[in-house]
Chain A
Amino acid sequence: MRTVITILAVAVLASVPLWLRDPYLLNALITTGIFVIGAMSLNLLLGFTGQLSLGHIAFFGIGAYVSALTSLGFDVGLPGDVRLVHTPWPPIAGLLLAIIVAGLCGYFVGLLSFRVRGAYFVIVTISFAEVVRLVALNWVELTQGPLALTNIPSIALPLPGFGELTLRTKMQNYYLVLVVALIAYLLIARLVHSHFGRAMRGLMENETLAVSVGIDVTRTLTLAAVISAAIAGAAGSLYAHYIRIIDPEVFAFINTVTMVIMVISGGKGSLAGPVVGGLIFGLLPVALRPVMAPEAQWIAYGGVLMAILFVLPRGIVPSLALRFARRRSGASALAPVALTETGAKEPA
């Protein structure tokens, strides 16, 4: 049943560029897709370990900057009359480096904050994002500061025997984002259904008990943070090479909030939740723009969010799964059904 829905959803998403010719809408779908990847990575932390990263955009932005700088090259002076010169590399190398560097940042943030967790993690992540934004703003020699990095090359896929395929059109970029999103989705699904995922769930539900059966808190949470940050970094890299210009505004707090909204509305701790929530709140501004004044759009945005959380308080996907299960098995199925929605089923 679930496999059928997944395959159908992928087929529909894959067919979109074939019938949707409007470049404006296709553009909205691509940027939404990139943010959905970010939201999925946030969900790995928030939904499966219970740790709220309110600076998640930092990993996204670091990925964007690393990827852009790798493919643009730079020449900066370091203390002691040393000059660090980097000649441009292909954008695909930028994508890989973005994943690695963002993952490393996730490691350090995790290592710093997971000894104390909870509110401390929230504060460390907010501060981290702000510090990174200030660096991007003020290290003008490297990042051009507010002048932005421009002319970032599009991603080019090396095709053995055929040279390279540079992804310039919207349709090509749409498929690139779709493929990366699918990989991220499968990676997260495998992870949460493995014994690592069970360790994470155990920690979230009853940390003392989890520790007493031998689960290493710091290691488990740090691992989740690394993978989450790495996926966010990949999304950031896609963003940089698609938009082809980035400035320190990418680190704005509102971008993190957008991801949190996508996760919470879609259903944290559910694999499909961030996708559903992400599509709704990514495309909502596009739908509202022609019919409302800009101020009213934000009010409507907030109204939709409140309506969703009021009617479906667990988030869209878990709430609907619960109702569906109840209808099928009559009154006998109580709350546990929804909670096992992400439970022990075999990976697809």
Chain B
Amino acid sequence: MTARSVAMTIDQVAVRFGGLVAISDMSFTVGEGEIVSLIGPNGAGKTTAFNVMTGFLTPSAGRVTYQGTTLTGLKPHEIADLGLIRTFQRTSVFPNDTVYDNLLIGLHRQGRVRLLDAILGLSGARASERRLRQKASELIEWVGLERRGHDAAGSLSYGEQRLVGVALALAAEPSMLLLDEPVSGMNASETHRFVELIRSVRDRGITILLVEHDMPMVMTVSDRIVVLNYGRIIAEGTPEMIRNDPAVIEAYLGHGAARA
């Protein structure tokens, strides 16, 4: 692997909910432009890790830095302003708005104009509005939902809603994208298209951290994989290394009766 500059550092992060340890001690880094996957059995602490990285949870110990900025204490919208954008495992759209309007909401960071300009309809605000509409159309085309643009996002199929979720995240102009189980509920061909999509996102220079259960998908798309179990990192490396790691095989398949 060529040496990359580090985008994100997770340094000895721990999360405890009362007596329950969700993450005990987690440290790893994500390089610029890399696709890293975070995998592990259910309840291993993957989504908790995402919530820490995006400011939805404050870690009990340790810290996360992104491009030199320490994220501890920042609010989610402030972290989004640093270009660190996530998607969600479940509800990931504004259900009552059209797909097009969803993306306009997602373009919030790029559409900031002065309130007075917007109210008076000054030319600057109007030009910004036109630019946003143009971008929204481009994004819709890019995820291939042109024909659903004017349907309410809540009326779309599960797979389509996932695409809207990713387009929404891209609308926020991320420099790093955190995808939480993006292909769960997708069929094989949708998954295949999604992998292409992720690759083209990375080709735009966007770093990607992925949480996913779909192992074939993870193995094809990732540069590097981090495996979590019971809140600890048990393995880290290229897909090839992970596939043959005994600790990983044990975590996923169990170890007979030896594990009481």
Contact = CB atoms under 8 A, between A and B. Distances in A.
Verify that A and B bind, or say they do not.
yes
Interface of A: 187, 190-191, 194-196, 198-199, 201-202, 205-206, 208-217, 223, 334-336, 339-340, 343-344, 347
B111 A206 contact: no
B169 A335 contact: no
Given A209-B93, A213-B168, A343-B98, A335 B152 contact: yes
Interface residues of B, number: 47
Interface string B95-106: 111101100111
Given A339-B152, A340-B98, A343-B97, A202 B118 contact: no
Interface string B140-168: 00000000000110110000000000001
Given A209-B92, A214-B108, A336-B155, A195 B132 contact: yes
A202 B98 contact: no
A331 B129 CA distance: 33
B123 to A, nearest CB: 14
Contacts of A340: 97-98, 101, 152
A339 B152 CA distance: 8
Contacts of B76: 211-212
Given A199-B108, A334-B152, 13 more contacts: A190-B120, A194-B119, A195-B132, A198-B108, A198-B111, A201-B101, A202-B94, A212-B85, A213-B169, A214-B80, A336-B154, A339-B97, A344-B100
B118 A190 contact: yes
Contact of B104 (A196, A198, A217): A198
Interface of B: 54, 56, 75-77, 80-81, 85-88, 91-98, 100-101, 104-109, 111-113, 115, 118-121, 125, 128-129, 132, 151-152, 154-155, 168-169, 171-172
17 contacts: A194-B113, A194-B125, A194-B129, A195-B107, A195-B108, A195-B118, A202-B108, A206-B91, A206-B94, A206-B95, A209-B88, A209-B91, A213-B80, A214-B81, A214-B172, A334-B155, A340-B97
Nearest to A191: B119
Given A195-B108, A213-B85, A336 B98 contact: yes
Contacts of A215: 77, 105, 108
Contacts of A206: 91, 93-95
9 closest A-B pairs by beta carbon, nearest first, are: A336-B152, A214-B80, A194-B118, A195-B111, A202-B105, A213-B172, A205-B94, A214-B109, A339-B96
Nearest to A339: B96
Contacts of B93: 206, 209
A45 to B, nearest CB: 16
Contacts, number: 122
A223 B115 CA distance: 10
A214 B86 CA distance: 11
A211 B74 CA distance: 12
A224 to B, nearest CB: 11
Given A190-B119, A335-B152, A205 B169 contact: no
Nearest to A190: B119
Contacts of A199: 105, 108
A191 B94 contact: no
Contacts of B101: 198, 201, 340, 343-344
